[in-house]
Amino acid sequence: MMNSQFDGRLGRRDLLRLLGAGGVAAGTGLMLPKQGQAATQIAGKGAKIVIAGAGAAGLSMASRLAQRLDGATITIIDGRKAHYYQPGFTLVAGGIKSKDYVTSTTAEYLPKSVSWIEEAVAEFDPEGNKVVTASGKAVPYDYLVVATGMKLDYAAIEGMDMNRIGQDGLGSIYASPDAAHATWGAMSKFVEAGGVGLFGRPNTEMKCAGAPLKYTFITEDRLRRAGNRGKAEIVYAANNKALFSVPIVAEKVRMLFKDRGVKTHYDHVQTGIDLGRKVAIYNTPNGPTEIKYDFINVIPPMRAPDAVRNSSLRWQEGGFAADGWMEVDKATLRHKRFANVFGVGDIAGVPKGKTAASVKWQVPVAADHLVADIAGTKSDAVYNGYTSCPLITQLGRAMLVEFDYNNDLVPSFPGVVAPLEELWITWVMKTMALKPTYLTMLRGQA
């Protein structure tokens, strides 16, 4: 035998240490707390629950209620067969993921016990406790969950033609997976040719307010990597006086824009576009103004769908009234005037977040209150406005920005993943870990 006692001891110790390192790596994920486990089933008492909308919020709610209630009749109403993983749209438009990455079907996430009416909701009648579908079918309910999402109001931008997305430098990532993919085509051409890249956001509530910023950063980095940054000017036209609604994040973005040479305009609200002349038209405090572009990412105003906007579910006054968002209590997501109605996801007229992360934390709260109503008990579940925005700042790095109703940063991994630091680990989370997390949310498993 060649091994001395010394060699053997050292080797064993080394090996044990190495095994330990592997154990820590596996442990960090496994030891994190499991959240949102299905509680024990309670009797549904034949309650008729209708969920309007089968997007992220509607499907998560359906899965959660199906798990928690035994003997309730749950019906979901939505005309769309395809399911879109919307947090991936920016990645598709940035050339990071393919179109297939964001497309699946509603059917694959729907619990067996939930029945699906494949039609759009045309009318809400909360006074009569029923909804009416596009074909005129009335569906009565004991409890209603509104999860219709929102309407992309492209018609509000004069001169906009959705059919031309992808042509002549016109991009718009929100319309559909195809539009996101076509936008990537237009952006690729811009990256080669250079010119003016024009970005911005609408003057309404919107899905993931970080997305317009992410897309600006991604385009800037694409230009830099192609060696064409010098051939291009990047312009960001903010709708108001800030780049983000959370002040500390807005300041960070301002500094990053300065670092990356992004020219910023404030108080620019886009009202139109001339696709022939390649000019975007804005309202500003000094009157209308035009900005020429070679590539533009058009983000339309976002409002409540007509069915909600035209119903008594909408806010009657205040900041959320004009666009028809639903009047819900921001802590419980329960309608302020119709106690058997809840609003979750984009449609909820609450101060923060129209993101998948908001859905993830809203749905369990609303579900808990609804189940408690059926059981005849009370729930003390509260939604604090938590939302999350993994803000990509270049290919390979992102900032994990998480905040609540108070504009407080609420980091998930305090002291480990710094919220305002551009990190690779956050990029890996955004591009790899979020979709599996999202899918488990749809299935009510997380």
Partner 1 sequence: MKDLDPFVFLMVFQEMLGPVLWILVALALFGLIGFAVVFLREGKMDSRRLVRSELIGVVGGVAALVLAAKFTVSGFTDAGGPVDWLLVGLIWGVGLAGTTILAYAVQGLLPCRRCG
The residues assigned a catalytic role are 208, 389
Q: Are 97 and 91 spatial neighbours (Cβ–Cβ below 8 Å)? A: yes
The number of residues in the chain equals 446
At its nearest, how many Å lie between partner 1 and the CB of residue 354?
18
At its nearest, how many Å lie between partner 1 and the CB of residue 169?
26
Q: Give the nearer residue to partner 1 in terms of CB position, either 29 or 376.
A: 29
Residue 108 has a CB neighbour count (10 Å cut-off) of: 11
At its nearest, how many Å lie between partner 1 and the CB of residue 250?
20
At its nearest, how many Å lie between partner 1 and the CB of residue 229?
18
Q: Is 427 exposed, middle or buried (0-12, 13-18, 19+ CB in 10 A)?
A: buried
| 348 DSSP assignment | B
Q: Give the nearer residue to partner 1 in terms of CB position, either 201 or 430.
A: 430
Contacts of 18 (CB under 8 A, 6+ apart): none
Residue recorded with tokens 């921001």: 330
Q: How far apart are CA 51 and CA 148, in angstroms?
A: 9
Which H or E run contains 107? none
At its nearest, how many Å lie between partner 1 and the CB of residue 390?
8
Q: Output the six-digit token pair for 82.
A: 């395809």
Q: Give the nearer residue to partner 1 in terms of CB position, either 71 or 396.
A: 396
The footprint of partner 1 (CB under 8 A) covers 2-4, 7-8, 10-12, 14-15, 18-19, 21-22, 24-25, 29-30, 32-36, 96, 357, 361, 386, 388, 390, 394-397, 400, 402, 412-413, 416-418, 421-425, 427-429, 431-437, 439-440, 445-446
Q: Give the nearer residue to partner 1 in terms of CB position, either 185 or 411.
A: 411
CB neighbour burial string for 209-235, b if at least 16 within 10 angstroms, e if fewer: bbbbbbbbbbbbbbbbeeebbeebbbb
Q: Give the nearer residue to partner 1 in terms of CB position, either 15 or 107.
A: 15
Indicate left, alpha or beta for 379 from its phi (over 0: left) and psi (-120 to 50: alpha): beta
